[in-house]
């Protein structure tokens, strides 16, 4: 039972990540590689506030989301002229920069050794030390994230984002400042990724720079493409499939060292097959 609870927690965390990226990529068409970077900043922020300042988890998580939101706001101001592939390449630079900071700012991040002994969340003096308790918290935050993303999707704000995705220049003719809408959704998306990072840090109780590299962002992109872009249920479906799929390899009999590397081969094959035969994903509303 503990094994399935562990999987459910990972699915919840990656579902929040997928929903955060889907809010950006699915609605505006902007593919960002920086998801793992903002997840990492959120994770390190929460870890530092819990281990060094002994703050309450929920206060630390809220502050981490605000910190990441401010950083994302400033980053997107610098990226305001970038569109399409140039935006994607620029976002990859964010991951490189944050990885360098995590490794070299040793007085704060503890460098390559990472941060250990991160305490579990504390709710009204009750520590969520058991995994099933942590799962309840993860599901609650996942539901909250889903409702926020659904609200965005069904609001006038979401309709403008879809119009930007379809033809940004055309909607600018009608007087919409598209840069402001993209700035807002990039900030929201990054803050939600920070929430997932805070959850991950307190669940694993240890983080290191290796946890927030480009391949993590590629994994999340694969999840939303597999499940279906611009569909929140699809983002969750993609997370379920790609979190559980590597676990199935354990039952095939492959050595753990080979299975770990084989995961990346599977992700690549999935992307290739999707682009060839179903580029909109299982539940997607549009093609890349």
For 267-278, write each residue's pLDDT tens digit: 778 778 877 887
Which residue in the block uniquely carries the two structure tokens 């960002």?
A: 32
Please provide the DSSP assignment of 36-62 as one string. Answer: HHHHHHHHHHHHHHHHHS---HHHHHH
Instruction: Find the Cα–Cα–Cα–Cα dihedral 134, 139, 140, 144, rounded to 10°.
Output: 140
Instruction: Specify whether the backbone of 84 is left (phi greater than 0), alpha (psi in -120 to 50) or beta.
Output: left
Q: Is 235 part of any domain?
A: no
**Cα 282 to Cα 92, 182, 222, distances in angstroms:** 27, 26, 12
pLDDT per residue, tens digit, the chain (288 aa), is 888 999 999 999 999 999 999 999 999 989 999 999 999 999 999 999 999 999 999 999 999 999 999 999 999 998 877 887 889 999 999 999 999 999 999 999 999 999 999 999 988 778 888 999 999 999 999 999 999 999 999 999 999 999 999 888 888 888 889 999 999 999 999 999 999 999 999 999 999 999 999 989 989 998 998 998 899 999 999 999 999 887 776 666 666 666 666 777 777 787 788 778 877 888 876 666
Examine residue 184 and state whether it is found in any structural domain, yes or no: yes
Give burial (CB, 10 Å; 0-12/13-18/19+) of 273. exposed
Is the overall model pTM greater than 0.85, yes or no?
Answer: yes
Within-domain flag for 196: yes
Locate 128 and state its tokens.
């969520």
pLDDT for 260: 62
Chain-centroid distance, C-alpha 103: 21
Q: How far apart are CA 156 and CA 152, in angstroms?
A: 8
Q: Give the count of domains, the chain.
A: 1
- Is residue 82 a part of any domain in this protein? yes
Task: Quote the domain boundaries for residue 27.
Answer: 2-211
3-class secondary-structure state, position 99: helix
Taken in order 228, 24, 193, 231, the sign of the CA dihedral is negative
- Asked if the structure places residue 49 within a domain, the reply is yes
- What is the per-residue pLDDT across 125-153, written as a single tens digit (0 to 9) for each? 788 889 999 999 999 999 999 999 999 99
Q: Is residue 285 part of a domain?
A: no
């Amino acid at each position: 039972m503990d094994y399935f609870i562990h999987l459910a927690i990972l699915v919840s965390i990656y579902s929040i990540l997928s929903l955060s990226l889907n809010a950006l990529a699915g609605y505006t068409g902007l593919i960002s590689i920086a998801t793992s970077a903002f997840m990492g900043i959120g994770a390190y922020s929460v870890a530092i506030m819990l281990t060094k300042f002994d703050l309450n988890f929920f206060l630390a998580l809220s502050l981490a989301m605000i910190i990441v939101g401010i950083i994302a706001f400033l980053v997107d101001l610098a990226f305001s002229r970038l569109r399409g592939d140039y935006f994607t390449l620029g976002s990859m630079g964010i991951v490189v920069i944050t990885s360098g900071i995590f490794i070299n700012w040793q007085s704060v991040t503890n460098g390559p050794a990472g941060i250990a002994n991160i305490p579990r969340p504390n709710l009204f003096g009750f520590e969520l030390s058991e995994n099933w308790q942590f799962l309840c918290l993860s599901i609650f935050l996942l539901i909250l994230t889903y409702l926020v993303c659904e609200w965005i999707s069904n609001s006038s704000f979401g309709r403008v984002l879809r119009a930007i995705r379809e033809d940004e220049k055309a909607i600018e003719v009608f007087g919409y400042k598209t840069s402001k809408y993209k700035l807002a959704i990039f900030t929201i998306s990054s803050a939600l990724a920070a929430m997932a990072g805070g959850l991950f840090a307190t669940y694993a109780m240890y983080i290191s720079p290796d946890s927030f590299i480009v391949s993590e962002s590629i994994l999340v992109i694969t999840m939303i493409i597999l499940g279906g872009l611009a569909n929140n249920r699809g983002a969750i479906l993609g997370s379920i499939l790609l979190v559980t799929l590597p676990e199935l390899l354990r039952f095939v009999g492959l050595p753990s060292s080979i299975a770990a590397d084989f995961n990346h081969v599977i992700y690549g094959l999935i992307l290739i097959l999707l682009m060839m035969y179903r580029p909109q994903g299982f539940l997607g509303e549009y093609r890349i």
